[in-house]
């Protein structure tokens, strides 16, 4: 972990939010954030892939974790009808329970949405979270418009660098308001394809955000510095964190 953080710092990454995807992983995320308190924060949540595996007391356990000073959001939560690793009814129940929790503890929500044909947007409209980021956006034009209409933040990852899968995202990414744009890794997944010839690994990490930033700048026809500055400012506003000037 030390090497990963050192490489991130060398590349100018100013802060990292470590994502929790189930109770165990959320505990680990908090532990890492506590160990590197000035550089890491954590989210706590249950990913839709893990919805079938929650224990009866899962929500009480999750609520307890939200009291940590290192926790800045509830999630990763949401729906995934592409993989369907958990049943759809279980996904819906776990998603909505976490939205209720986030409202009670007054934390932003960190949302996963894949191939749900607008269902995640419909659920979010019912619950109307005060702060929400649609993490790793891979949807279509209509879905993007809906999230923007709700004033949600939009996270963009190495997906935009994929020549085939990222084609539609590259066409529409300039419609994201600059004050709602976040640059993300989804590490250790979604290594930007634009760099696969440069390194001998498939493992993504924060140091490689520069490749996402570069592609975003190209698609939005602006300097990379504009993307970097906006992403930092937006993340600080969304998660209520401070980074050294």
CATH classification of the domain holding 167: 3.20.20.140
Structure tokens at 140: 């279509």
For 79-90, what is each residue's pLDDT tens digit?
999 999 999 999
Domain span at residue 230 reads 136-239
pLDDT at 194 exceeding the cut of 90: no
| 188 upstream amide cis, omega within 30 of 0 | yes
Measured CA to CA, the distance from residue 16 to residue 174 in angstroms comes to 24
Indicate whether 10 pLDDT > 80. Answer: yes
Rounded mean pLDDT of 130-159? Answer: 97
The answer to whether residues 163 and 221 belong to one domain is yes
* 196: confidence class by pLDDT, cuts 50, 70, 90: low
Number of domains in the chain: 2
- What average pLDDT does the segment 42-67 reach? 98
Predicted local confidence at residue 4, as pLDDT: 96
pLDDT at 240: 97
Determine how many CB atoms are found less than 10 A away from the CB of residue 92: 15
Would you state the structure tokens that stand for residue 32, as one six-digit string?
A: 């890492």
Asked if residue 82 and residue 157 are part of one domain, the reply reads: no
Q: Is a pLDDT exceeding 80 seen at residue 143?
A: yes
Q: Is 85 within a domain? A: yes
Is residue 62, in this structure, part of any structural domain at all?
yes
Across the range 161-183, mean pLDDT stands at 97
Q: Is residue 3 part of a domain?
A: no
Average pLDDT over residues 207-214: 96
| 163 within a domain of the structure (yes/no) | yes
The pLDDT-based confidence of 197 (bands split at 50, 70, 90) is: low
> For residue 162, is it within any domain?
yes
**Does residue 96 share a domain with residue 144?**
no
Task: Verify that 82 and 147 share a domain, yes or no.
Answer: no
Does any domain span residue 116? no
The predicted model gives 125-141 an average pLDDT of 97
Q: Is residue 203 part of a domain?
A: yes
From the list 63, 67, 9, 66, the residue with the least C-alpha distance to 38 is 9
Mean pLDDT for the chain? Answer: 96
Query: What are the pLDDT digits (tens) for 230-243?
Result: 999 999 999 999 98
pLDDT band at 92 (very low <50, low <70, confident <90, very high): very high
The last residue of a domain, from among 100, 117, 149: 100
Percent of the chain topping pLDDT 90: 94
């Amino acid at each position: 972990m030390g090497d990963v953080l050192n490489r991130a710092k060398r590349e100018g990454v100013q802060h990292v939010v470590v994502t929790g995807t189930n109770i165990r992983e959320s505990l680990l995320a908090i532990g890492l954030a506590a160990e590197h308190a000035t550089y890491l924060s954590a989210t706590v949540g249950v990913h839709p892939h893990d919805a079938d595996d929650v224990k009866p007391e899962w929500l009480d356990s999750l609520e307890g974790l939200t009291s940590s000073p290192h926790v800045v959001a509830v999630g990763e939560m949401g729906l995934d009808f592409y993989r369907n690793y958990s049943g759809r009814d279980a996904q819906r129940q776990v998603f909505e329970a976490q939205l209720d929790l986030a409202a009670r503890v007054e934390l932003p929500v960190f949302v996963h949405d894949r191939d749900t044909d607008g269902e995640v947007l419909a659920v979010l409209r019912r619950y109307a979270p005060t702060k929400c980021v649609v993490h790793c956006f891979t949807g279509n034009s209509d879905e993007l418009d809906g999230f923007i209409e709700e004033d949600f933040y939009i996270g963009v990852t190495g997906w935009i660098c994929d020549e085939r899968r990222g084609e539609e995202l590259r066409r529409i990414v300039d419609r994201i308001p600059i004050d709602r744009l976040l640059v993300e890794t989804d590490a250790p997944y979604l290594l930007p394809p634009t760099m696969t010839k440069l390194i001998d690994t498939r493992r993504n990490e924060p140091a490689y955000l520069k490749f996402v930033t570069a592609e975003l700048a190209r698609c939005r026809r602006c300097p990379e510095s504009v993307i970097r500055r906006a992403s930092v400012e937006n993340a600080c506003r969304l998660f209520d964190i401070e980074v050294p000037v």
